[in-house]
Amino acid sequence: METLEGTELCFPQLLNSSCRKPIRPHFETMPIYILLSFSSLLTAALNLLVIISISHFKQLHTPTNLLLLSLAVSDFFIGLLVFFQIVVVDGCWYLGDFMCTVYQYVDYVISSASVGTMVLISVDRYVAICHPLHYSSEITQKRVQVCVCLCWICSVIFQSLILKDIMKEPGRYHSCIGECIFFINYIAGLAGLTFSFIVPITVIVVLYMRVFVVAVSQARAMRSHIAAVTQSGKVTAKKSEMKAARTLGVVVVLFLICLCPYYCVALTGQDSVLNASSAAFIFWLYDFNSCLNPVVYAFCYPWLRKSIKLIVTFKILQPDSSEANIL
């Protein structure tokens, strides 16, 4: 049912309370549906392979890989959430106010946990490169498990406090039926921006700058054929640790590139001046970061390529496959 030129109602039976949606040509909406669907499936599939690999093969049960597992879990769920963006491509939300609140809450929790995991990864690489003598004693399997659990628990609690208004009364800020907007008050938004972006990003950048400086100095030392133990008593990091630092450094850089536009808009408060296409691109870039991480792993980690081959050929179903040597 058409109400105005170029628009129609989301719920034609609710004339006075339904939201309006713009009428777009089929050739405009179809590529968006295809892009979001492909991006969602690819993100979920790639991260599921990482999850299965690290969970199944015992050789991969290391502190660093546990952090990658946590990141892969958050990226997997972000991939699934992209499907919900397909629902609102035409400007209407058909799943009701309660599901809109659930979608918003889960999205914030997963994004917050992903940022927290990035901080833990940065700490892990900092200790491995800058304090290699203390790494095995300080970064243990049990401690990393506790840190990952605390990261997710804190994300749940923090976002529950930030979004308590909409959780108490779903849809309280909706002006019409068929709308699903992300709205939080100024104080809660400022707190969320500070603890979900500014503080974590500052920690990540500072730690990786220190890692970069130490890595460069150690690379020069190795090229100069300096012994493993230098005159100052410092120990040169293992080649594998250096490679892991570079790989995870790439992950962190991509993370910053993909997330900064979203948070910069939130920080400057200029979201109201964005057109629909710009806003859609920023949200898509934010989510696409979850697809890039496993691609980086596949290029840089031979163990992932080997484990994926065993997974897709169903060899992990064989007895004692978890004991396979894939390193």
Question: Does residue 12 have a pLDDT over 50?
Answer: yes
pLDDT beyond 90 at 156: yes
Mean pLDDT of the chain: 78
pLDDT confidence of 4, banded at 50, 70, 90?
very low
| Sign of CA pseudo-dihedral 206, 270, 24, 94 | positive
The answer to whether residues 77 and 105 touch, using CB atoms and an 8 Å cutoff, is no
Please give the structure tokens belonging to residue 271. 């979201």
Residue 252: pLDDT over 80: no
pLDDT recorded at residue 143: 92
Distance between CA 131 and CA 120 in Å, rounded?
16
pTM of the model: 0.81
pLDDT digits (tens, 9 = 90+) for 57-94: 888 899 989 999 999 999 999 888 887 777 666 677 88
Question: Is pLDDT at 110 greater than 80 in this prediction?
Answer: yes
| Domain regions of the chain by residue span | 2-323
Please give the Cα distance from 198 to 102 (Å, whole number). 25
User: Among the ranges 42-46, 243-247, 323-327, which has the highest mean pLDDT value?
Assistant: 42-46
- Domain at 2-323, CATH from 1.20.1070.10, 1.20.140.10, 3.40.50.1780, 2.60.15.10: 1.20.1070.10
The answer for residues whose C-beta is within 8 angstroms of residue 79's C-beta and 6 or more apart is: 39, 40, 41, 42, 43, 44, 45, 47, 287, 290, 291
Instruction: Of 252, 283, 261, give the one whose Cα is nearest residue 78.
Output: 283
User: How many other β-carbons are positioned within 10 Å of the β-carbon of residue 172?
Assistant: 11
